[in-house]
């Protein structure tokens, strides 16, 4: 078949890679199109793409002057830090946490991989503060969900509202999300790192927001300055060879935006070759 559309090419490529995709959404030049590969529930777990939404929430605090990237975590939680906390905690900044350079080991507090019921009182924040860090903050990269759960709690500490409740009004509603949910800890705080259930069509809208330099449907949601910071620092969105920005999630989830092509691509999957497939998008 000649002159295939981008979506036709993507659907074909998805099926060639095992067909383990639920839905694919493409927003090209502001026009959204979605194809269903495998029928399933509308809202799917986006796994670690949730971290990109937490980054956006932190950006909203930044835009309001409520947080700085060099602020110390121990200063933010000064009234909750135990007296015998590991000394390395006192070096940890918001930037370190956003960059997974905060001292937690790989995979720490990953609710998708481990049973966290051993935290008997359900107080994940207290558990983290009692953790002896493996590395001095800022010295080594180790990807963990603990970092972004900590950011979820930072958000509430800074503005007094749980992060998901705030985003419902200030992000999800303006972007016209359908029904969605976010996995929470036993204390009722969103995990921040994973467990964000959204429609693929809505997942793509965050990419469109960044593609539009912080504006969606004519309304500014985040500042251009924050978009620049995210792209420069690669806060969750990594850079592609073709100048795009991509965030993946476990078991085959992708959100990517490509400024040079004025394009966003998002998909939910159940074990697809996410990065190999993403390479075909450029």
**How confident is the prediction for the chain on average, in pLDDT?**
93
**pLDDT number for residue 4:** 77
Give per-residue pLDDT as tens, 119-153: 889 999 999 999 999 999 999 999 999 999 999 99
Contact 25, 200 (CB under 8 A): yes
Over range 182-190, report the average pLDDT. Answer: 97
What percent of the chain is predicted at pLDDT more than 90? 81
Q: Sorting pLDDT into bands at 50, 70 and 90, what band is 72?
A: very high
Which residue is associated with the tokens 């503060």?
129
Instruction: Identify the pLDDT of residue 203.
Output: 99
- Of 84, 189, 188, 99, which Cα lies nearest the Cα of 131? 84
The number of residues making up the chain comes to: 282
Residue 195 near residue 189, CB atoms below 8 Å: no
| Residue 155 neighbours by CB under 8 Å, 6+ apart | 54, 57, 58, 61, 161, 162, 163, 166, 192
Mean pLDDT of 35-56: 96
State the Rg of the chain over Cα: 19
Section 101-109 average pLDDT:
94
* 201-227 per-position pLDDT tens digit: 999 999 999 999 999 999 999 999 999
Can you spell out the DSSP letters for 28-58? ETTEEEEEESS---SEEE-GGGHHHHHHHHH
CA distances from 174 to 147, 166, 217, 270 (A): 27, 12, 8, 29
pLDDT band for position 280 (cuts 50, 70, 90): low
Residue 171 has pLDDT above 60, yes or no: yes
Distance, CA of 40 to CA of 38 (rounded, Å): 6
Token pair recorded at residue 42: 């509308």
As a whole-number percent, the residues of the chain with pLDDT over 70 amount to 94
Please write down the long-range contacts of 67-74, taking CB distance under 8 Å and 24 or more positions apart: 67/94, 67/154, 67/158, 68/94, 69/93, 69/94, 69/95, 69/98, 69/229, 70/94, 70/95, 73/97, 73/102, 73/150, 73/154
pTM for the model: 0.94
pLDDT at 34: 97
What are the tens digits of pLDDT across the range 222-279? Answer: 999 999 999 999 999 999 988 999 999 999 899 999 999 999 999 999 876 655 665 6
* CB contact at 8 A, 158 and 73: no
CB atoms within 10 A of CB 228: 12
Q: How far apart are CA 120 and CA 132, in angstroms?
A: 18
Which pLDDT score is estimated for 40? 92
pLDDT, residue 195, reads 97
Note the pLDDT of residue 245: 97
pLDDT at residue number 271:
78
What pLDDT, on a 0 to 100 scale, did the predictor assign at position 1? Answer: 43
Instruction: Tell me how far CA of residue 12 lies from CA of 37, 38, 185, 234, 264, in angstroms.
Output: 10, 13, 39, 31, 18
All structural domains of the chain: 6-49+165-279 (3.40.710.10), 52-159 (no CATH)
């Amino acid at each position: 078949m000649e002159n295939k559309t981008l979506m036709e090419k993507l659907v074909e490529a998805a099926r060639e890679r095992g067909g383990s995709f639920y839905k694919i959404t493409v927003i090209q030049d502001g026009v959204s199109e979605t194809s269903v590969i495998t029928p399933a529930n509308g809202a799917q777990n986006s796994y670690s793409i949730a971290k990109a939404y937490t980054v956006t929430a932190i950006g909203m605090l930044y835009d309001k002057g409520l947080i700085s990237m060099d602020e110390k975590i121990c200063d933010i939680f000064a009234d909750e830090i135990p007296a015998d906390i590991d000394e390395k905690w006192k070096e940890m900044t918001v930037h370190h946490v956003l960059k997974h350079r905060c001292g937690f080991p790989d995979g720490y507090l990953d609710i998708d991989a481990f049973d966290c019921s051993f935290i008997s009182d359900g107080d994940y924040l207290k558990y983290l503060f009692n953790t002896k860090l493996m590395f001095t903050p800022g010295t080594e990269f180790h990807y963990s969900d603990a970092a972004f759960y900590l950011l979820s709690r930072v958000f509430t500490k800074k503005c007094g509202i749980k992060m998901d409740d705030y985003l419902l009004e200030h992000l999800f509603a303006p972007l016209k999300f359908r029904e969605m949910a976010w996995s929470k800890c036993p204390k009722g705080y969103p995990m921040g790192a994973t467990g964000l259930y959204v429609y693929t069509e809505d997942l793509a809208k965050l990419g469109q927001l960044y593609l539009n330099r912080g504006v969606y449907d004519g309304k500014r949601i985040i500042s251009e300055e924050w978009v620049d910071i995210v792209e420069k620092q690669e806060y969750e969105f990594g850079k592609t060879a073709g100048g795009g920005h991509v965030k993946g999630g476990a078991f085959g989830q992708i959100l990517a935006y490509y400024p040079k092509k004025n394009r966003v691509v998002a998909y939910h999957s159940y074990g697809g070759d996410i990065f190999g497939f993403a390479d075909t998008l450029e």
